[in-house]
Structure 1
Amino acid sequence: MPGIVLIGAQWGDEGKGKATDLIGDKVDYVARFNGGNNAGHTVVVGDQTYALHLLPSGIIHPNVTPVVGNGVVVDPEALFAEIDGLESRGVDCSRLLVSESAHIIAPYHRTLDKVTERFLGKRKIGTTGRGIGPAYADKVNRVGIRVHDLFNPEHLRDKVEASLHQKNQMLVKLYNRRTIEVDAIVDELLGVAERLKPYVANTSLILNRALDEDKTVLFEGGQATMLDVDHGTYPFVTSSNCTAGGACTGTGVGPTKINRVIGVSKAYITRVGEGPFPTELNDESGEWLRQQGHEFGVTTGRPRRCGWFDALVNRYAAQINGLTDIVLTKLDVLTGLESIPICTGYDVTLADGSHAKVSDMPTDQAEFASATPIYEEMPGWSEDISGARSFEDFPQTTQDYVHRLEELSACRISAIGTGPGRDQIVSVHSLID
């Protein structure tokens, strides 16, 4: 059975939770491979809606083993709060596995995240303030704290002292803040160790053995392609690899064990936080999309920036992720529009001040920031498509719109979301062979 990667193909909030839920009962493991509790997935089961942040979406399925991989940064208190919330609603979380090599978000990471954003002022990145970036920075600087460190008090103290040595200098001299006491941090982290311990495991070994035994593993990305620290709209990105390659480094599973990569895209496009967004609509159309699509952050509640579908972004995502399939979500939101614009190119400003028309994503971020979208118009539809259960149930103009997005994205569209419900999806091609 396959290893399957599921990632967002735009700037996030595409509906990855729904896509995971679609195939969740056909897989044995669902493993998160990047990000932290700055992610947000909404899963609707019957009349119940679950907002997940750190936990894999597969935790809703009783026969799936959910895994938090080594590439995730874990805030223990956020993890426990999410577990408690789910268990209070009857969801069994005892199957959860957390990588012993995952890095911990300590209280000082959240402090640094917030003071740094305020210090940057108008140059701020637009983080969630949850300490994600500083935790990843410590990981790369080799002063991070891993889950297994929580079970060795002496080793933990050494690591906290090493991490705070420089940070306290910054807090006092640069940000005019108080120092953070080592003892307080160590005590707080040791206080969560006992509760966390039953979930901790060598998840790389477990996942590799599962694949060797012909089990199906779904690798679930937090955030999305355009927020990838290497391949996104840098510096307005997250601090981890959200693209398909991150599934390997974030779980310890080799690329030869992955044979399907599914990208999730909205039938329009949104993003949160700062950064360039060529098709953004700062007008009535943008507000209409926001209200129709209920575009407010699962994690933060922030209103999302909305725009028309950007084919350059989708084709870029298909290229760097090696997408085999696209799940197109929220197609029903566009119902009622007489015509629907699709961005098929940009007019960009070059370094010498001249202009050029491009049909592929610019790698120069200054060019991308200057991009003005070039649109083609597709006829809309007024028929209610929320009850469609096959592609042929769609009006012809809806079918034409989907076919055009498929052509422009250079990847087949295998499933189409027609509403928030678990059963509101049209399958065109099987997502699991």
Structure 2
Amino acid sequence: MAGTATAVIGAGYGDEGKGLMTDYFAARSGTDGIVVRFNGGAQAGHTVTAPGGLRHVFSHFGSGTLAGAATFLARRFVCHPSLFLKEAEALAALGLAPPPVFVDERAPLSTLYDILLNQLAERRRGNARHGSCGMGFGETVERSLDPEFALSVADLRHGAGWLLRRLAAIRDGYVPRRLAALGIPAPDGEAAAWLASDAALQGYVHAAMRFRRMTHTAHPAMLAEQEGVVFEGAQGLLLDQERGAFPYVTRSHTGIRNALEVATEAGIGALDVTYVTRAYLTRHGAGPLAHELPGKPYAGIRDDTNLPNAYQGTLRFAPLDLDLLVRAVQTDFADAAARPGMSARLGLAVSCLDQVGQAVSYVEDGASKSAAPEALAAHLAGRLDAGAVYTAWGPGRTTVKAQRGGWNSATPSPATAQAAGARATAP
């Protein structure tokens, strides 16, 4: 049974190495483990490279899949049946039969119309784009606020006929209203044809029914019976809907808050929270990026996941701002520290250290500084009072080193927070 669960949280704008660290922690339990996706949806792109070189970018399935861990899609995770099937097919093409996928029936369902609305809105914004990746996540959250048009996994129990009627109501009732609210004229051309397509609607229904057959509904209480529970966050702290720079945020709590909700329902009372950052800062999409650089800061940088696309453009770079990172992490960890009955320990993981050479540049107190990769990780860990520190020197779990701690025992770290109302502090 799970006494202490692990949580992996991105400390930046996403793309920090959450897939890598989730795989690393999940591998400890192998087929006895389970990965909990507790926020975001199919717009996630978490890259995992297995020891044998097998590589996959995860969106619906947990990033512990290659390590044999099951997946639990929690109530705040936005499910998209068609994209789930697409990923299942991609895994099958790699010769993999994924471990079981469990899903909370309260989880919302995204539709083809949410994607359409998202893409039309982002295109219309032009140079004022918000940085969306065009997958319909935020539009799904918006639609779910209206009970008349909301959809959840539980609704799939009503069958294909009911779902067909619900989707038609969304298409004919909600979409025109939402377009008007966004100030977007009725679409024409290809978008109009897609919106009017009964074949597309029926294809979604077919996918949704397959999604239901391929997954197992479950309550978070089932997590208490698992040996190794890893909470896998999506996006990063600097994109949080309440703490990021609006409107360049995602409509999600990207930190520990949703994981705490699931852990409480599951009866899990202790979390080892590892905040992940690259050795440099990236942002894929529009929005502020302090100290932005004109290109890659290190010749060794290679990113085969975050390719240029029509909605987010190209990957952007900046040196790590240690003060910004520390504030973001401490603010988020305070949520865990204040949770009644929850014991939390703070850890740090620094990825991509193999890409930066002998010295890595960063910003602290407004000044540009540099240090050896190991020294940067140690300095940042000291500022965070991190009880466990992991450094990653490549794309796979075998390159991860536990520099300090590692929490292989029950020994508390200096950043343990147990009492209700306690607050995380740093020197």
Cα distance, 1:109 vs. partner? 0.7
Residue 219 (structure 1) aligns with: 231
Mapped partners of 2:373, 2:99: distance in 1:
43
Contact 1:40/1:299 (<8 A) preserved: no
Cα distance, 1:73 vs. partner? 1.3
Q: Does 1:341 align with 2:348?
A: no
Query: Where do 5+ consecutive residues of structure 2 fail to align?
Result: 334-344, 410-427
Alignment map for 1:359-370 (pairs within 5 Å): none
Residue 370 (structure 2) aligns with: 378
Contact 2:388/2:407 (<8 A) preserved: no
Cα distance, 1:188 vs. partner? 3.0
Residue 265 (structure 1) aligns with: 277
Question: Amino acid of the residue matched to residue 315 of structure 1?
Answer: V
Q: Does 1:176 align with 2:183?
A: no
RMSD: 2.6
Residue 77 (structure 1) aligns with: 82
Cα distance, 1:195 vs. partner? 1.6
Contact 2:388/2:402 (<8 A) preserved: no
Cα distance, 1:399 vs. partner? 3.6
Mapped partners of 2:367, 2:278: distance in 1:
17
Q: Does 1:317 align with 2:328?
A: yes
The more displaced of 159-168 and 108-117 is 159-168
What whole-Å deviation, never above 9, does each CA across 1:341-372 have from its counterpart, x for those lacking one? 32223xxxxxxxxxxxxxxxxxxxxxxxxxxx
Residue 389 (structure 2) aligns with: 414
What whole-Å deviation, never above 9, does each CA across 1:226-276 have from its counterpart, x for those lacking one? 111112222111111111012144677368634221111111111111111
Matching residue within 129, 141, 163 for 2:170: 163
Question: Amino acid of the residue matched to residue 163 of structure 2?
Answer: L
Contact 1:151/1:190 (<8 A) preserved: no
Contact 2:11/2:277 (<8 A) preserved: yes
TM-score computed with the length of structure 2 as normaliser? 0.80
Residue 401 (structure 2) aligns with: 426
CA distance 1:198–1:191, shift in 2 (3 Å): closer
What whole-Å deviation, never above 9, does each CA across 1:186-226 have from its counterpart, x for those lacking one? 523321233212333333x2x42331x46331111111111
SS of 1:406's equivalent in the other structure is: helix
Alignment map for 1:188-267 (pairs within 5 Å): 188-203=203-218, 205=219, 207-211=220-224, 213=225, 215-249=227-261, 253=265, 257-267=269-279
TM-score computed with the length of structure 1 as normaliser? 0.79
Q: How many residues align?
A: 378
Cα distance, 1:307 vs. partner? 0.9
The more displaced of 66-75 and 187-196 is 187-196
Mapped partners of 2:232, 2:153: distance in 1:
20
Cα distance, 1:171 vs. partner? 4.0
Residue 384 (structure 1) aligns with: none
CA distance 1:298–1:277, shift in 2 (3 Å): closer
Mapped partners of 2:358, 2:281: distance in 1:
17
SS of 1:287's equivalent in the other structure is: coil
Residue 5 (structure 1) aligns with: 7
What whole-Å deviation, never above 9, does each CA across 1:360-402 have from its counterpart, x for those lacking one? xxxxxxxxxxxxxx124234xxxxxxxxxxxxxxxxx444332
CA distance 1:54–1:265, shift in 2 (3 Å): same
SS of 1:343's equivalent in the other structure is: strand
